[in-house]
Structures are given as structure tokens and as C-alpha cells.
Amino acid sequence: MKTLLYHLSKTSKQLVCYCNSFTQREQRALGLFVLITATFAFLSGYYALTAIFGEWDVLRNEYYLTLKQKVITVFIATLYAITIGAIDREIVAAPNKWAALLRIPMAIIIGMIIAIPLEIRILDNKINQKIIENHHQKMIPFKQQKDAFIDVINQEILDIETKIDYYSIKKDEALQRIKGEDLGLKGDQMSGLTGKGQYYKYALREKQNCESEIYKLEIRLQEKKEYRKQRLQELEKDFNLYKTDATHGLWEKYLVMHQIIDDDKTGMAKLMSYGLSLLFILLELIPSLVKLLNRENEYNKLLIYLDKQADNKLQNAIENYEFNGDSEDFIRIPEIRFEM
């Protein structure tokens, strides 16, 4: 682990051994900060790429990736993390502090970029629920249109059936009077004479009129039912044509996340969002801040000393070089050794 941290802080393991324990811990801490920023970069990149390449599984409520997609996602996320880590590694190992100042604007941008996917991941359950709610809201006009049609057509069918029942009752009453006239029964609109009395023709005509109305109403009823069936099929076809599955892409989740933040009247969601962004910006700024605020320790002084020694020996080698007139000849510089 120490070897990794020294490598991340661009520290010579052989050289730092000559420094005190505090300086060694200080150099390892620089490597740890680089490792932290690279790790968060990997996590953020991995989730963002999963949302880009993956297919949303509604049942499992997560993204599904094939083996090939997983390999690609891990490779790109690792490459992104290595890039961020390499930049921070050069910053903490820079011989002067101006490089750290140049890193600050980049750290703010990278911090915000890293924060967005991780904010989405933290609010993932709430975001997925909101996406489904928004999707249902889009489907409401289709459902309202269908429900309104069903209410109207069912009421029309009910009115026709009510009329059919009414004329069926009137028909049955007319049949009873016809039978009464045949048998000579007395009663309402029955003469009491055996055979066809004076009310017989009237009852027969009323029966025929009721049958005629019932026949017409049954035709209308059948037409209404067929129309209802056809129209419902058309509405279902239109619904399937315009219906889309709820999308759970990274951009859609980003938009929904801000919708949740804006709809939160307590302001806690906005506070959490800003807090996470500031946290990751701070994490990205740590290597630069450490470089700016850190004192010049033993290791830095040792590097400066060795650089001067190397420059002096190089300059002496050049001055002592004897030119033999051959433009293709190389300057032979003796091996530079340092004795501690």
C-alpha cells in the first residue's frame, strides 16, 4: 500500500527513505488524496456509463448490462479515473505551486461533473418513482378520453335497453288483454264477451306497435354495441401508438432530479444537492489545496538539491566536452551519481 501511495504522489521510494517519518507520512497522504479523487471519479463514471449503455429493468428496478457492456463500462470508467488521478498526481508532484492554482478551475468543473451522477444515485429511488408518475400523467388524457366515451356510450345503451323493457311490458299487457277478450274475461280494457270483443283489435294493434318498436330498438342496440367495440379498439390502437415506456436514461434522471429539487418546498433537497456538489468540489480541490498550503518538507528540499547537483554536473560535462569537428558526434556525459 505504501508503494502505491508513493507512486500516486510521484515520490521516489528510495529517496524518501532518507527523510524523517513525518515527511514520509506527508508524502503518502498526498498519494491518498489522489487515490480518493480517482476512486470517486471511477464510481461517478461507472454509474453514468451504466445509465448510458444499460437497459432499464422494471422488475429489478436497476440497469441491466451484458458482459460486453460491463467490460466497456469498467474500461472507460477506469480510463477516466486514471486520467483524473494522473492530473492530480502531476499537481501534487509539481515543483512549484502555480500548477496547483491552474488546477482549481478544473477541480470545480470536475467536482460538479462527478457530483451529478452520484447525486442521481443517492436519489435513485425517488427519481424512479417520479419518472413513473410523470409517465402516468402523460397517459391520463388517453384514459380520460376512453373513460368519457365509455360513460356516454354505456348511458346510450342503457337508455335503449330501458325503452326495450318498457315496450316489452306494454306488449305483455296487450297479450293479456287479447287473451282476456278471447276468454270473455272482465277487467281493465276488457269487454267480458267471449270471442273478439270491442277491445281485441285495439290490444292487437298495440301489441304489434310494441313489437315494431322493440325490433327497431334492438337494431339500434346492436349498432351501439358494435360501435362501442369498434371505437374502443381504435382508442386502444391510438393509445399503443403514442404510448412510450418510461425512460430511465441519465439525462431523463438528471431532469427529474431537478424537478424533485424544485418541487421540494422544505428546501432540504436543494440543500443536499448543493452540499454534495460542494463536497466533491472540495475533494477535487484537496490535492491543490494541500500543494498550496503545504510547507516545503525534507523531500522537496532534497529534490531541489539533487536537481541542482544534476544541473551542475551536466554543465561541467558540456564545458569539458572537446569538439572534434564532427557535427554528428554526440556529447558524452558521464554518469551522474549522488551520494547521500
Q: What is the pLDDT of residues 102-115, one digit of tens each?
A: 777 877 777 777 77
Grid coordinates standing for 209?
A: 306497435
In this prediction, residues 309-325 reach a mean pLDDT of: 68
Residues 203 and 294 in one domain: no
Distance CA 152, CA 230 (A): 15
Residues 124 and 46 in one domain: yes
Nearest in space to 182 (alpha carbons), one of 171, 167, 195, 199: 195
Boundary-marking domain end, from 227, 242, 257 = 242
Residues 151 and 121 in one domain: no
| 331 within a domain of the structure (yes/no) | no
Residues 45 and 123 in one domain: yes
pLDDT in tens, 160-176: 999 999 999 888 887 87
**What percentage of the chain has pLDDT greater than the value 70?**
78
| Better-predicted residue by pLDDT, 311 or 180 | 311
* DSSP assignment letter at 194: B
Which domain, by its residues, includes 59? 2-130+265-319
Nearest in space to 118 (alpha carbons), one of 177, 45, 204, 214: 45
**Residue 255: partners with Cβ closer than 8 Å, 6 or more residues away:** none
Asked if residues 309 and 35 have their Cβ atoms less than 8 Å apart, the reply is: no
Distance CA 46, CA 74 (A): 6
Residues 25 and 111 in one domain: yes
Q: Is the pTM of this model over 0.85?
A: no
Residues 170 and 290 in one domain: no
pLDDT in tens, 32-41: 888 888 888 8
Distance CA 325, CA 328 (A): 9
pLDDT score of 326 more than 50: yes
